[in-house]
Amino acid sequence: MKTNENSRRDFLATTLLAGAALAGCGGNPFTPDEVTDIKPSGEMVKLLSVDGEIIEVDKAFLKPVPEMPSVPNAEARIGIPGKKFAMVIDLSRCKSVKKCQSACNHMHHIHPGQNWIKVYPMQESEKTAPYWQPTTCMHCDEPPCVKVCPVDATFKRKDGIVLIDSDRCVGCRFCMAACPYSSRVFNWEEPQIEKEIADKPYSCETSVPQKKGTVGKCDFCPDMVRQGGLPHCVSACPNGVFFFGDILEDSVTNGAETFRFSDLIKDKSGYRLMEDLGTKPSVYYLPPVNRNFPFENNEKA
Amino acid sequence: MEKLAENKIVEDLLPQKFGRQGQIWVVSLLAVCALGFYAYCRQLYYGLEVTALRDYASWGIYISNFVFFVAISLVGSLITAVLRLTDVHWSTPLTRIAEIIAVSAISFAGLIIIVDMGRPDRFYNLFTHGRLQSPIIWDVIVITTYLFISLLLLYFPLLPDLKIMIAFKERNGKWLQKLYEFLGSFWKNKPEQFKITDKAINILSITIIPVAFAIHTVTSWLFATTYRPGWDSTNFGAYFISGAFLVGAGGVLIAMYVFRTHYKLEKYITDDHFDKMGKVVVLLALVYLYFNINEFLVPAFKMKKSEEEHLMGLFTGEFSPIFWFAISASMLIPIFILVFKKGRKPKWAFFAGILVVVGSWFKRFLIVTPTLLHPFLPMHDVPKSYTTYIPTWEEWAIAGGSLAGALLVITFFARIFPIIPIHETIIETDSHEKA
């Protein structure tokens, strides 16, 4: 495990070192051709080398590491070891700005009109208070969708995330019928994606590119998480509604604030949706009390 | 049955060439199939986009048609197996009709499920990646089993008839003769052969009953294993099976009438048969009605919030015209017609059969779609067109094409093979004489 975790850091550092080596000897036979013309800018950056030493490199020789290759789909089925992801959605902060939705739609190239994140105007009964409820996939610990899938195209990982292999999905839509949270959407026609992206091999972790005749849904952005980032909805929300984190580390963050997960749920009386169904969601909600915004519904009915 | 000479029976029951009516019938069915095929090509090209199915109503008339086909195919086991094992002899002339309805319907059930798939090109994944925990895999297994048992139950009793038909070489023509010889030239009417087939038929008749129950129970579980209001019911297996026997028996009434009038089989499919089948239908309709009362009255008494919207949609809302039509056409009116002796005369019984089958088709639609349009969380953040379901012409054409295809299989079967078992009719007549 340890070597695995290190390998990425090694890789990054090696790339940088290769850049650093350039500064000394221009005629290095291993130097890629396109970098030979680079002139030192004189601006130096401090970096940490593999040996843990601080080194200085000219900024001009720094090259952005090409997008990390996403993990193969076989590995994506297992998940990130030692993690158990969860999300906390604070309803008192949501005013339906829907930046979460647009970021999600944009990053996953979702078909126009369809949404993986839905923001519901909720009101339990006539006299109770209305509130906004964003829903993602609940990434249930007893996922009804996974139970019914005939071909193991949708699966539950060890880190709690439920994903879809669009290269295997047969499009029977049993999972859509089984999901009580209506979080699954279907690609009824050829997805409208730029050719460049559509031609990429499908990755279970990015859920891109979506494929005609298969099911899609919120994936908790494991590709971002693997890179140490946050799901797109979490970073896109201007009001910090979404918290994401690891239950085993007992911490969740919306990027700006970090809380101890158990304290947050205890102090604010967190709950999950449709607990009575026994699906055991990984998404927790904090009730809409002491709200940041009044409820205003300007949506067309 | 009046006394009939053996050669007269053979003469009456040999398959006949299509007359003018028959030709028109076949051509129109072919036309409907062709339209369905064209619509399916469009669906393959453009995707399920050509249907009215969307994220909420993700299953529609393809799936209800599937349930209908599975349902009607159960009649094979009812007539051949249940009545045979209970030593009921009047149904002998109807066994082959029931069995070909079963084979044809279950084959098209399989086809229509492929039509419903978003990626039919990945059908093989069901075998290469199939997981036993999914009710869909259970369905694949039991439906295939049922198809093969039904085919054998169709084939074994056909063997003595094949021998009879092979004798009419000139009448048959080259192709049919070849087919008959291929299927049955080994059959010599030897007592040992009869002993083997009788035993095989008995074993199959016993096995097919649990398999028949399984196919429709598992089909009901495709719905009942989910949480949704209208599907989340422990009543579903029995409710589906009782409805299946009803629609199948209704289908047999129709087929009896059509074959009888078209092939002039009044001596073989008698008024008495209509009388008895009519009574069977009344019984089955009452049983189905009982399960319907359980299915709707009990949740309606409680009116849980999640169920309320769904139930009110059926009782008084958007689906109420279809709901009340289906309840009256598939159960109430047929019971009312067939409970009277006059109502069990062929014409009325035929009419009642049509009501049962048409009503049952719409009943299956009501089982599938309204539930999907009443999800737990309100329909939201989707285009307006996602919130309703009105099937497109492609869906109607494909569903219609599959129904026409099933009828076509039955029609061609009756053209090639005797639709009333010749050999068994002769035996029955003989035993009547001796008695």
With an 8 Å Cβ cutoff, are A186 and B116 in contact?
A: no
Structure confidence by residue, pLDDT tens digits, B208-237:
999 999 999 999 999 999 999 999 999 999
Cα B313 to Cα A290, B300, B309, distances in angstroms: 38, 12, 6
Q: Distance, in angstroms, between A281 CA and closest chain B CA?
A: 15
Q: Report pLDDT for A301.
A: 54
Structure confidence by residue, pLDDT tens digits, A31-79:
454 555 677 888 888 888 777 788 888 888 877 666 655 788 888 999 9
B312 burial type by CB count under 10 A (0-12 exposed, 13-18 middle, 19+ buried): middle
Give the pLDDT band (50/70/90) at residue B49: very high
- Flag whether residue B304 sits within 8 Å of chain A, measured between CB atoms: no
- Token pair for B389: 């379901």
Using DSSP bridges, classify how beta strands A85-90 and A283-286 pair: parallel, antiparallel or unpaired. parallel
Structure confidence by residue, pLDDT tens digits, B105-123:
999 999 999 999 999 999 9
Residue A88 DSSP one-character state? E
The span from the CA of B408 to the CA of B414, in Å, is 10
Q: A3 pLDDT exceeds 50?
A: no
Structure confidence by residue, pLDDT tens digits, B313-352:
999 999 999 999 999 999 999 999 999 999 999 999 999 9
| A115, A144, A189 ranked by CB distance to B226: nearest | A144
- Flag whether residue A271 sits within 8 Å of chain B, measured between CB atoms: no
Instruction: Using CA coordinates, name the residue in chain A closest to B51.
Output: A188
With an 8 Å Cβ cutoff, are B225 and A118 in contact?
A: no
With an 8 Å Cβ cutoff, are B134 and A188 in contact?
A: no
Closest Cα to residue A281, out of A92, A131, A121, A86? A86
Q: Report pLDDT for A65.
A: 64
- A95 within 8 A of A101, measured Cβ to Cβ: no
- Flag whether residue B141 sits within 8 Å of chain A, measured between CB atoms: no
Structure confidence by residue, pLDDT tens digits, B95-104:
999 999 999 9
Give the pLDDT band (50/70/90) at residue B4: low
- B209 within 8 A of B80, measured Cβ to Cβ: no
Q: Distance, in angstroms, between A298 CA and closest chain B CA?
A: 13
- Token pair for B237: 């297996």
- Token pair for B407: 């009828």
Q: B421 pLDDT exceeds 50?
A: yes
Q: Report pLDDT for B434.
A: 63
- B123 within 8 A of B72, measured Cβ to Cβ: no
Q: Report pLDDT for B172.
A: 87
With an 8 Å Cβ cutoff, are B56 and A153 in contact?
A: no
Give the pLDDT band (50/70/90) at residue B433: low
- Flag whether residue A210 sits within 8 Å of chain B, measured between CB atoms: no
A182, A184, A190, A193 alpha-carbon torsion, rounded to 10°: 110
Q: B169 pLDDT exceeds 90?
A: no
Rounded to a whole number, what is the largest CA-CA distance in chain A? 78
Give the pLDDT band (50/70/90) at residue B1: very low
Beta partners for residue A156, in sequence order? A162
Q: To the nearest whole percent, how much of chain A has pLDDT over 90?
A: 70
Q: A28 pLDDT exceeds 70?
A: no
- B338 within 8 A of B279, measured Cβ to Cβ: yes
Reduced to 3 states, what is the DSSP secondary structure of residue B81? helix
| B122, B380, B383 ranked by CB distance to A120: nearest | B380
Q: Distance, in angstroms, between A13 CA and closest chain B CA?
A: 41
A246: left (phi over 0), alpha (psi -120 to 50) or beta: beta
Contact list, B116 vs chain A (CB under 8 Å): 172-173
- Best of A102, A135, A173 to substitute, by most chain B Cβ atoms within 10 angstroms, is A173
Contact list, A173 vs chain B (CB under 8 Å): 58-59, 116, 118
- Flag whether residue A164 sits within 8 Å of chain B, measured between CB atoms: no
Q: B369 pLDDT exceeds 50?
A: yes
A139 burial type by CB count under 10 A (0-12 exposed, 13-18 middle, 19+ buried): buried
Structure confidence by residue, pLDDT tens digits, A171-220:
999 999 999 999 999 999 999 999 988 988 999 999 999 999 999 999 99
Q: Distance, in angstroms, between A250 CA and closest chain B CA?
A: 29
- Flag whether residue A140 sits within 8 Å of chain B, measured between CB atoms: no
Cα B134 to Cα A139, A154, A204, A274, B139, distances in angstroms: 19, 12, 21, 23, 9
Q: Report pLDDT for B287.
A: 97
The span from the CA of A79 to the CA of A162, in Å, is 10
Q: Report pLDDT for B227.
A: 95
- Flag whether residue A97 sits within 8 Å of chain B, measured between CB atoms: no
| A170, A180, A181 ranked by CB distance to B119: nearest | A170
| B46, B58, B131 ranked by CB distance to A177: nearest | B58
Rounded to a whole number, what is the largest CA-CA distance in chain B? 76
Mean pLDDT value across chain A: 87
Contact list, A74 vs chain B (CB under 8 Å): none
Structure confidence by residue, pLDDT tens digits, B279-310:
999 999 999 999 999 999 999 999 999 899 99
With an 8 Å Cβ cutoff, are B135 and A190 in contact?
A: no
The domains of chain B, with CATH numbers, are 6-434 (1.20.1630.10)
Contact list, A185 vs chain B (CB under 8 Å): 55
The domains of chain A, with CATH numbers, are 2-61 (no CATH), 83-286 (3.30.70.20)
Which parts of chain A fold into alpha helices (H)?
2-24, 73-76, 99-108, 144-148, 174-178, 195-198, 222-226, 232-236, 261-267
How far does chain A reach from its first CA to its final CA, in angstroms?
52
**Which position has the higher pLDDT, B386 or A47?**
B386
- Flag whether residue B435 sits within 8 Å of chain A, measured between CB atoms: no
- Token pair for B138: 């259970």
- Flag whether residue B101 sits within 8 Å of chain A, measured between CB atoms: no
Give the pLDDT band (50/70/90) at residue A82: very high
Q: Report pLDDT for A50.
A: 72
Q: Distance, in angstroms, between A226 CA and closest chain B CA?
A: 28
**Which position has the higher pLDDT, B360 or B80?**
B360
Q: Report pLDDT for B376.
A: 95
- Flag whether residue B124 sits within 8 Å of chain A, measured between CB atoms: no
- B361 within 8 A of B251, measured Cβ to Cβ: no
Q: B139 pLDDT exceeds 50?
A: yes
Structure confidence by residue, pLDDT tens digits, A211-268:
999 999 999 999 999 989 999 999 999 999 999 999 999 999 999 999 999 999 999 9
Report how many Cβ contacts below 8 Å link chain A to chain B.
136
B201 burial type by CB count under 10 A (0-12 exposed, 13-18 middle, 19+ buried): middle
- Flag whether residue B137 sits within 8 Å of chain A, measured between CB atoms: yes
Cα A2 to Cα A6, A10, A91, A134, A275, distances in angstroms: 6, 12, 39, 37, 37
Cα B434 to Cα B80, B97, B431, distances in angstroms: 24, 27, 5
Among B81-95, B151-165, B341-355, B375-389, the least confident range:
B81-95
Instruction: Using CA coordinates, name the residue in chain B closest to A173.
Output: B58
With an 8 Å Cβ cutoff, are B381 and A119 in contact?
A: yes
Cβ-proximal residues to A293 (8 Å cutoff; 6+ apart), any chain: A93, A94, A95, A239
| A113, A118, A212 ranked by CB distance to B47: nearest | A212
B24 burial type by CB count under 10 A (0-12 exposed, 13-18 middle, 19+ buried): exposed
| A180, A189, A212 ranked by CB distance to B376: nearest | A180
Residue ranges with strand state E in B134-214 = none
Instruction: Using CA coordinates, name the residue in chain B closest to A150.
Output: B134
- Flag whether residue B110 sits within 8 Å of chain A, measured between CB atoms: no
Structure confidence by residue, pLDDT tens digits, B180-216:
999 998 999 999 999 999 999 999 999 999 999 999 9
| A101, A121, A144 ranked by CB distance to B227: nearest | A144
Q: Report pLDDT for A73.
A: 85
pTM over 0.90: no
